């Protein structure tokens, strides 16, 4: 494109932004006007440059919670409780201003979409069945509830539920499109390693500020804020935080909105950084990958997240055992890991406390029994093939209406969209797992096979996991579908001509 066309595009973007500012002049909040104007600029640029928009989306994702709550007056304390400003929801949607325009541009203009259709036709049909099931629930359940109770927002809640459930499914296509060659693949790996190092480093700073009393934590807050994660205790980065060592309560959010999201970021990235440390052609980046593995483990210990403390070491151990082909080296490395683990557990008091806390919580409420009880509660109290209403158990919609708290994913799906929707979602996950497994098995290059194995294990673990609901919450809701799309591209990348490591 020549310079005159580029200048014309810039003029058009600035004109649209100025026009939006004029339309929003009646809005009371100057911050809302600025945000909406900036959103138009971002949407236009993302549509014009979809690849740049997708990379920006991935980079912004881990820092979205920090950016949101760093804005002045987005929340405030009123009588010991947190209240939000009227435009708080807009700040949580910032990342989508680059995602959706880039997706639309991709669908409209990308020649690779036809190739993707040939590769993933069964998956596309399964996604169509899931979309159909969700629309049936929205039409026959949410609409009926809305007509019976016009003062409530059942349709809007349904729209939020639909976006949370399948809004990021098209990232399969985006991942397939974004990674054009092996150079892009290694850039993605290195980006994930760099983001892990940065986010874990910021979490360590957060922990230091809390432990040194620079951030007060929850100790001086009134109940119930002193015993649960709260924005009133926010420190340095992230959002809701719990730090009350006198009560033995530590739940750090890292750079995310809440501790649970941070825990699943640690769990997801354990697959990514381990895969990167095995597959990168650069020795320097392989060392950085192993450094990020160690930092991830250390961050898991200080963050106080039981799910991450249980899952991250097991994931890393399983990946290590299954990816090592040399039996002699495997036995040696396994022995070293067991020895180091024994030393760490017996010499670091923090590790022992976290482990005892995990064991105590497991004994108090075993996760398998907890999951079964959640299913039993839904099955005994609700029976409908189309569910009770899309979004009615989705946390993102709780400010728009009354929602039910269901803390396990597939029980939540059964409640919202019934058996038809639940089976449709399982069909999508199973089809994605099958197609990515075929892609992994077709690879011959050892480094790509090791990387693909780590990614496929991630898809298998997250896809069939029912504890909590990471598939409807950032960042796993993004990583799951995006990595699935990249995996479908790996066989094509392997056939490309090799290049010197960057």
Q: What are 351-369's pLDDT values in tens digits? A: 667 677 777 777 777 888 8
What does the block give as tokens for 426? 């399982």
CA dihedral 222, 225, 231, 236 (to 10 degrees): 80
Whether 215 shows a pLDDT value over 70: the answer reads: yes
Phi-psi region of 408 (alpha: psi -120 to 50; beta: other; left: phi over 0): beta
Tell whether 267 and 329 lie within a shared domain: yes
Give the end of a domain, one of 54, 80, 108: 108
pLDDT reported for residue 118: 85
Domain of 387 in residue numbering reads as: 109-499
More confident residue, 415 or 150: 415
Which residue from 420, 135, 451 is spatially nearest to 289, judged by alpha carbons?
451
What is the rounded average pLDDT of the residues 277-282? 89
Is residue 476 within 8 Å of 458, Cβ to Cβ?
no
pLDDT reported for residue 23: 44
pLDDT tens track for 97-118: 888 888 888 877 766 577 888 8
Tell whether 120 and 63 lie within a shared domain: no
Provide the 10 A C-beta neighbour count for residue 405: 8
47 in any annotated domain: yes
pLDDT reported for residue 433: 96
189 in any annotated domain: yes
Tell whether 96 and 113 lie within a shared domain: no
C-alpha pair distances (Å), 13 with each of 57, 104, 131, 409: 20, 18, 34, 41
Give the end of a domain, one of 87, 108, 129: 108
Domain count, the chain: 2
Percentage of the chain modeled with pLDDT above 90: 38
Which one of 17-21, 120-124, 317-321 scores highest in mean pLDDT?
120-124
Name the one residue in this structure whose structure tokens are 């180091």.
340
Which residue from 474, 459, 387 is spatially nearest to 429, judged by alpha carbons?
459
Query: DSSP state, 138?
Result: I
pLDDT reported for residue 266: 96
Residue 251 — φ and ψ, nearest 5°? -140, 100
Residue 65 — φ and ψ, nearest 5°? -65, -40
More confident residue, 42 or 205: 205
Is residue 407 classed as helix, strand or coil in its secondary structure? Answer: coil
Tell whether 131 and 96 lie within a shared domain: no
Mean pLDDT over each residue of the chain, to the nearest integer: 83
pLDDT reported for residue 261: 93
Tell whether 234 and 120 lie within a shared domain: yes
6 in any annotated domain: no
- Say which residues have a Cβ less than 8 Å from residue 435's Cβ, sequence separation at least 6: 119, 120, 122, 123, 488
What is the rounded average pLDDT of the residues 119-124? 92
Tell whether 99 and 190 lie within a shared domain: no
pLDDT reported for residue 175: 93
pLDDT reported for residue 45: 83
1 in any annotated domain: no
Whether 478 shows a pLDDT value over 50: the answer reads: yes
Q: Give the pLDDT band (50/70/90) at residue 208.
A: very high
**What are the E-state strand segments in 265-397?**
none
Whether 157 shows a pLDDT value over 50: the answer reads: yes
Worst-scoring range by mean pLDDT, 56-70, 103-117, 216-230? 103-117
pLDDT reported for residue 346: 55
Is residue 266 within 8 Å of 312, Cβ to Cβ?
yes
Tell whether 21 and 128 lie within a shared domain: no
Whether 500 shows a pLDDT value over 50: the answer reads: no
**CB-facing half-sphere around the CA of 316: CA atoms within 13 A:** 27
Rounded Cα–Cα distance for residues 240 and 260 (Å): 10
What is the rounded average pLDDT of the residues 427-436? 96
Give the end of a domain, one of 108, 141, 160: 108
Label residue 349 exposed, middle or buried (CB < 10 Å: 0-12, 13-18, 19+).
Answer: exposed
Tell whether 46 and 99 lie within a shared domain: yes
What does the block give as tokens for 59? 């980079």
pLDDT reported for residue 343: 54
pLDDT reported for residue 499: 45
What is the rounded average pLDDT of the residues 445-464? 94
Rounded Cα–Cα distance for residues 417 and 142 (Å): 10
Whether 22 shows a pLDDT value over 70: the answer reads: no
pLDDT tens track for 159-193: 888 988 999 999 999 999 899 888 999 999 999 99
Q: Give the pLDDT band (50/70/90) at residue 502.
A: very low
> H or E stretch including 157?
helix 154-166
386 in any annotated domain: yes
pLDDT reported for residue 86: 64
| Helices of type H across 110-181 | 112-119, 121-137, 143-148, 154-166, 171-178
Whether 25 shows a pLDDT value over 50: the answer reads: no
Q: Give the pLDDT band (50/70/90) at residue 225.
A: confident
What does the block give as tokens for 391? 């979004």
Whether 194 shows a pLDDT value over 90: the answer reads: yes
Tell whether 69 and 218 lie within a shared domain: no
Tell whether 435 and 333 lie within a shared domain: yes
Torsion sign across C-alpha atoms 235, 237, 239, 241: negative
pLDDT tens track for 376-396: 888 888 767 888 889 888 887
Whether 202 shows a pLDDT value over 60: the answer reads: yes
3 in any annotated domain: no
More confident residue, 422 or 72: 422
* Whether residue 475 has a cis bond before it, omega within 30° of 0: yes
3-15: buried (b, 16+ CB within 10 Å) or exposed (e) per residue? eeeeeeeeeebee
364 in any annotated domain: yes
221 in any annotated domain: yes
Tell whether 232 and 366 lie within a shared domain: yes
What is the rounded average pLDDT of the residues 270-289? 91
pLDDT reported for residue 106: 83
C-alpha pair distances (Å), 134 with each of 13, 190, 466: 36, 37, 19
Tell whether 140 and 60 lie within a shared domain: no
């Amino acid at each position: 494109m020549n310079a005159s066309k580029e200048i014309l595009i810039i003029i058009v973007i600035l004109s649209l932004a100025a026009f939006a500012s004029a339309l929003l002049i009646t809005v009371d909040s100057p911050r809302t006007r600025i945000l909406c104007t900036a959103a138009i600029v971002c949407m236009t640029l993302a549509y014009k440059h979809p690849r740049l928009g997708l990379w920006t989306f991935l980079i912004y994702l881990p820092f979205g919670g920090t950016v949101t709550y760093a804005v002045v007056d987005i929340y405030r304390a009123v009588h010991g409780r947190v209240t939000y400003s009227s435009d708080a929801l807009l700040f949580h949607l910032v990342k989508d201003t680059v995602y959706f325009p880039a997706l639309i541009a991709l669908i409209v203009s990308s020649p690779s979409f036809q190739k993707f259709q040939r590769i993933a036709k069964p998956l596309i049909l399964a996604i169509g069945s899931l979309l159909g099931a969700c629309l049936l629930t929205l039409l026959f359940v949410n609409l009926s509830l809305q007509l019976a109770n016009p003062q409530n927002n059942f349709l809007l809640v349904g729209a939020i539920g639909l976006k949370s459930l399948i809004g990021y499914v098209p990232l399969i296509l985006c991942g397939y499109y974004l990674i054009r060659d092996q150079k892009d693949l290694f850039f993605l790996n290195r980006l994930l390693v760099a983001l892990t190092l940065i986010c874990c480093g910021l979490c360590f700073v957060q922990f230091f500020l809390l432990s040194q009393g620079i951030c007060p934590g929850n100790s001086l807050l009134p109940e119930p804020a002193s015993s649960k994660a709260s924005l009133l205790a926010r420190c340095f980065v992230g959002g809701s935080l719990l730090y009350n060592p006198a009560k033995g309560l530590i739940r750090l959010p890292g750079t995310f909105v809440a501790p649970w999201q941070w825990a699943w970021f640690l769990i997801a990235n354990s697959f990514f950084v381990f895969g990167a440390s095995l597959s990168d052609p650069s020795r320097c980046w392989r060392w950085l990958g192993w450094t990020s593995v160690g930092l991830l483990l250390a961050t898991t210990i200080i963050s106080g997240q039981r799910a991450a403390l249980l899952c991250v070491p097991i994931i890393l151990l399983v990946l290590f055992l299954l990816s090592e082909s040399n039996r002699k080296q495997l036995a040696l490395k396994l022995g070293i890991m067991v020895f180091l683990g024994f030393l760490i557990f017996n010499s670091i008091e923090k590790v022992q406390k976290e482990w005892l806390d995990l064991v105590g919580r497991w004994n108090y409420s075993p996760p398998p029994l907890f999951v079964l009880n959640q299913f039993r509660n839904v099955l005994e109290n609700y029976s409908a093939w189309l569910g009770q209403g899309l979004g009615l158990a989705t946390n993102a919609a709780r400010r728009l209406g009354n929602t039910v708290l269901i803390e396990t994913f597939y029980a939540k799906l059964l409640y919202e969209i019934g058996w038809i929707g639940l089976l449709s979602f399982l069909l999508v996950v199973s089809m994605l797992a099958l197609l990515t497994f075929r892609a992994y098995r077709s690879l011959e290059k050892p480094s790509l096979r090791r990387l693909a194995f780590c990614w496929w294990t991630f898809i298998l673990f997250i896809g069939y996991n029912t504890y909590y609901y990471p598939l409807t919450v950032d960042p796993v809701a993004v990583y799951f579908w995006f990595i699935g799309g990249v995996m479908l591209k790996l066989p094509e990348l392997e056939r490309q001509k090799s290049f010197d490591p960057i």
